Amino acid sequence: MTNLSLTAKSIGFEHIHSIPLHEINDRVMRGEIVVMPKCLQAMGYFERLKEATLEAICQAVGEAKAAQVRSKGFEAIHEIINLDELVAISNSSYDVIRSLAPGLSKAVVKEIFQRKQPFYFEESPNVRFHIPYDVVVERKKEFSQFHWNGKVTAHGPHHDSWYQCPTNCVNIWIAIGSVKIGNGLSIYPQVYGKRLPCTEDGKILRDQYFGSVLNFDLEPGDALIFHGEHLHSSELNSTDATRYVVSLRMTLEKPKFLGQSPYKSNYIYSETNDGLAAACNQVSAKISRRFIKQLDSHLNRSETPNYVISALDISIFDNTSADFPKPPLVKTVEGTSQDKTKLIIDSTELAIGTIKPVSQTMCVARVDENRVVAFSRHCPHEGADLAGGYLRDGCVVCPWHNLPLNIETGASPCKSLSQLKVFDCVESDGTVEIQG
Ligand code: FES
Ligand SMILES: [Fe+2]
C-alpha cells in the first residue's frame, strides 16, 4: 500500500491553491483547471498502468524491446521502437488500458471526486505516445500508416465535443511518462465558455484568437483535470522525449452530445455490468447533422460568455470568435525595381508585448521600448496565423501548437521545420519602417 495521499491544486494564470477533493468535479465543470501530483500512485494505479503498457509492448514487439523500454523509460520509446511498430504498440496498449477503464474510472469517481453516485465513462480511454516532431519527419517514410496523426503527433486546438465527446465531460489527463513544456498540453482559459467554429473535419479556423496559454510540467503519475469544453491542444513535440499519456473522460450526469464526427465515442453507465443491459446503457453520439442545426437555432449565441459558467447549461455557450488582433494604420510605399515595398506604421500603434498583423503575410511586434520586429504571419509548421500568437523570451510562440520561433533568426527547436521568415525593420522618429 502507498503512503501518498491525494491532493489537488487549482491552477490559473494568477493563482495556484489547494482545493478539497469533493469540490473538484464542480469546480472543473465551472472552468477551473486542476492538477493532482502523484495521483495514480496515491490511488494505487501507477504500477498497474505502467506494467500493463509494458506487457502490451511485449506482446506487440517482443520481450527484448519491452525490456529496453522498461530500463530507459517511456520517454525513449522513439529510440527503441520504429514508427510502424508504434502503431502496433499503440493498438495493443489501447486494448489493455480499455480493460482497466471501468475500475480506474470507478476509483476516480470514488477517491478523487468523493462521490458514490453512478456515472458514465468513455469506453476506450485515449492512449497517446507523442514522439518528437523531428523524429516523425525524419522517419516518415518508414511509417506506412501516417493517418495516425493526432495519436502520435500534435493535435490542434479543439473542444472535445468536436470529436463526438459530450459537452459535459471531464477530462482526466494522466502522465504515465514525464510531460515537459515543449511536449505537453496547452489550455486556453480565456476562451472558456465559447465553442469556437471549426471546419467539417474538426480543425480550428485560422482567424480565431485564443488569448493566453497555460502549459504544464508533469511527473509520471500526475493528473491534469479539466472540462473537455476548454479549448486545448497538444504542443508540437520539440523535445527529445516521447510523451506517454492516458486520458479518461467521464460525466457524472447523463452525457450530452451535440453532434457526430468520424470518431466513435461510447459512454458506458457505471452500474451496468455486461450483456444486453450494457448495450442498452451505452450512450453514443449518433445524432444527425439535422439535429445539430435544430439545436444551434435554439441556442442563444449572442449571450456574453463568462469565464466561469455551468457546463450543464449549454445554452450559454456561444460560437463567436474571440477578438483577433486588429491591424494598425499602415502606409504602404511601393518600391521601384531596386527597392522593395515599405510599410510605415506610427510607433504609438505598437504597445510593448503586442503582435499586430500589417498585411496578409506579415506581422509586427514590439518586444520592448526600443525593439520592434517583423516576421511572416504563417507558422512554418501548419500555417497558423502568428498574429494570434504571443511573445516569450525572444520568440513568437505559435497559437496552435505552442512552438517558439526566434524573432531574430526565425529558428525553432524543431530542426526539420523551415525557419520563420523575418523582415528588416527600423524604428526612428516615431515611425516603424518595414522592408516588405
Ligand atoms: S506550431 Fe503548429 S501551426 Fe504553428
Ligand atoms: Fe482533447
DSSP string, 49-92: HHHHHHHHHHHHH-HHHHHHHHHH-GGGHHHHS-HHHHHHHHHH
Atom 3 in ligand 1: which residue has the minimum CA distance? 382
Q: Cite the residue boundaries of each domain of the chain with CATH code 2.60.120.
A: 8-316
Mutate to test the pocket of ligand 1, among 378, 381, 417 (most ligand atoms within 8 A of CB): 381
Instruction: Give the ligand 1 atom nearest the CA of 403.
Output: 1
pLDDT at 163: 81
pLDDT at 53: 97
Mutate to test the pocket of ligand 1, among 403, 417, 421 (most ligand atoms within 8 A of CB): 403
Ligand 1 binding pocket, CB closer than 6 Å: 236, 379, 381-382, 384, 398, 400-401, 403
**Separation of alpha carbons 219 and 174, rounded Å:** 10
Predicted complex ipTM: 0.99
Nearest-5° Cα angle at 40, 179 to 231: 50
Mutate to test the pocket of ligand 1, among 375, 379, 416, 417 (most ligand atoms within 8 A of CB): 379
pLDDT at 195: 84
Per-residue model confidence as pLDDT tens digits over 170-205 = 999 999 999 999 999 999 999 998 888 888 778 898
pLDDT tens, residue order, the chain (436 aa): 457 899 999 999 999 999 999 999 999 999 999 999 999 999 999 999 999 999 999 999 999 999 999 999 999 999 999 877 888 899 999 999 999 999 999 999 999 999 999 999 999 999 999 999 999 888 876 665 555 555 667 899 999 988 878 899 999 999 999 999 999 999 999 999 888 888 877 889 888 999 999 999 999 999 999 999 999 999 999 999 999 999 999 999 988 887 554 455 688 999 875 444 444 445 544 433 333 333 333 333 223 222 233 333 333 344 455 577 888 888 887 776 566 788 999 999 999 999 999 999 999 999 999 999 999 999 999 999 999 999 999 999 999 999 999 999 999 999 999 999 999 999 999 999 998 7
The CA 233 to ligand 2 mean position distance, Å, reads 7
The CA 232 to ligand 2 mean position distance, Å, reads 6
Mutate to test the pocket of ligand 1, among 363, 377, 382 (most ligand atoms within 8 A of CB): 382
The CA 264 to ligand 1 mean position distance, Å, reads 26
**Separation of alpha carbons 219 and 71, rounded Å:** 17
C-alpha cell at 15: 493563482
Q: Cite the residue boundaries of each domain of the chain with CATH code 2.102.10.10.
A: 330-435
Specify whether the CB–CB gap between 390 and 397 falls below 8 A.
Answer: yes
- In three-state secondary structure terms, 8 is strand
Instruction: Give the ligand 1 atom nearest the CA of 401.
Output: 1
The CA 428 to ligand 1 mean position distance, Å, reads 33
CATH architecture of 8-316: Sandwich (2.60)
Q: Which CATH code fits 330-435?
A: 2.102.10.10
- C-alpha distance from residue 199 to each of 162, 163, 204, 205, 377 (Å): 10, 12, 7, 7, 21
The CA 315 to ligand 2 mean position distance, Å, reads 21
The CA 401 to ligand 1 mean position distance, Å, reads 5
pLDDT at 207: 87
The CA 426 to ligand 2 mean position distance, Å, reads 42
